[in-house]
Amino acid sequence: MVAIGTWNLENFFPPGGASGPTTQAAYDAKLAALAATIRSLNPDVLAVQEVGDPTALDDLAKALADEGYAFHATADPDGRGIRVGFLSRLELLDIHQVSAFPAPLRPIQVDDTNVNETAMGRPALVAGVVTRIGTRIDLVTCHLKSKLLTFPDGAFSTRDEGLRARYGAYALNRRTAEAVTVRDTATTLLAGHGQQRAVIVLGDLNDEPQAATTQILSGPPGSEIGTGGYDIDDQGDGNRLWNLAARIPIDNRYSRIYRGNKELIDHILVSHLVTHHVADGDVTAGPPPTSIDDNPNARRDTPASDHRPLVATISL
C-alpha cells in the first residue's frame, strides 16, 4: 500500500516577507499546524502547492523528521514567489519541471498589455517514486491559474465591469493553456500504456471536476468511475486519467470553501493501472477549512491553510 496526497499550503512563506506570516510566532504556529495535519493523514508522498520559499519546505521536513520525510523538491516560483513541490518518504527520482506550452499551442493574452505568455505561470513538477512492492509511479504536481482575480496594481477587486470581464477571460485562457501543458506531460508519461504504467497528476486545479479545464486533464472521454463502461476495456484506457473525486464520500467531497460554498478544486487523477487499486472511501480529506473571500492578505497570520489535503490509499 502507498498513500499519495496533495495539499495547497496557502502562502507558506518564512516570516517577514511580502506574503505569509508576519511574525516568527505566526510562522511557528503555521508550521506546527501543517505538520500535525500531515502526521494525522500519514501520506508517503505529498504534493504541495503555494510553497513560498524552499526553506519553508525544509522547515516542514525538519518538523516531520521523526515521520521519515527525507526527500523534498520544489519547482521554480511564479511572479508572486510561490511554487509547487513534493514532500516524500520515498526517494524522488528523475525530478524535472515543465512550463513551456506545447506546440502548436500559441502564446496567450494574460492582461491588457501587448505581452503574451508562452509558459505556465507556475511550472509543474514531475518526479518518480518506487513503492515498497517495487511499482514505479510517475507523479506530476501542478497549481493552475487561480479563479481569484488580480487586477492592475495588485488590486483584488474592481468596479470596472469591463475590466473584470476581461481579466476573468485572461485567467480562464491561462488556466486552459496550463491544463493543456500538464495534459501533454501526462500523455508523454503514459505513452499509450496507462494499463501498465502508474501515472498520477495531482494538485490545485482551481476548478471543479466537471469544469472544462479539469476535463482536459482527463483525456479521452468515457469509462468514468461510476459509469457502466468503467470495468470494460476500451481504446482510450491507455491515455485516460480517472479523477478520484468519485472515491471521496459525497458529503466530504470538497477541498475549499469560498464565500460559504464548498468546492472541490484540488484533485488526484490516475492512470488505468492505478484507478483499479483505489476503492470507494480510499480517498480521505483533512480538517475542513474556513470560508475565504477574495482578499488573501486577510489570512496572513492564520495557522491553517484555506485548502484541505486529499490523500489516496493505493494498493500498489
DSSP of 264-304: --EEEEE-HHHHTT--TT-EEE-SPPPPB-S-GGGGTT-SS
Indicate the average pLDDT of the chain: 94
Task: Compute the average pLDDT of residues 228-247.
Answer: 92
pLDDT at 310 over 90: yes
pTM: 0.95
Contact, 9 vs 50, CB < 8 A? yes
| Per-residue pLDDT at 269 | 98
Q: What percent of the chain shows pLDDT beyond 70? A: 100
pLDDT tens, position by position, 108-158: 998 999 989 999 999 999 999 999 999 999 999 999 998 888 888 878 888
Q: Retrieve residue 198's grid coordinates.
A: 502508474
Query: Looking at the predicted structure, is the pLDDT value of residue 17 above 80?
Result: no
pLDDT value, residue 156: 82
Residue 268 to residues 44, 85, 175, 243, 257, Cα–Cα distance (Å)? 15, 15, 17, 6, 18
**Distance (Å, whole) CA 246 – CA 281:** 9
Condensed to tens digits (0 to 9), the pLDDT of residues 167-177 reads: 889 999 999 99
Backbone angles phi, psi at 262, to 5 degrees: -80, 130
**What pLDDT, on the 0 to 100 scale, is given for residue 116?**
93
Res. 297: pLDDT tops 80: no
Residue in 257, 273, 275 with CA at minimum distance from that of residue 265: 257
Encode pLDDT of 62-97 as tens digits. Answer: 999 999 999 999 999 998 899 999 999 999 999 999
Instruction: Band the pLDDT of 205: cuts 50, 70, 90.
Output: very high
**What's the pLDDT band for 182 if we cut at 50, 70, 90?**
very high
Look at residues 154, 159, 52 and name the one whose alpha carbon lies nearest to residue 111.
Answer: 154
Under the banding of pLDDT at 50, 70 and 90, the label for residue 292 is: confident
pLDDT of 101 over the 80 cut: yes
**Domains assigned to the chain:** 2-314 (3.60.10.10)
Q: What is the pLDDT of residue 227?
A: 87
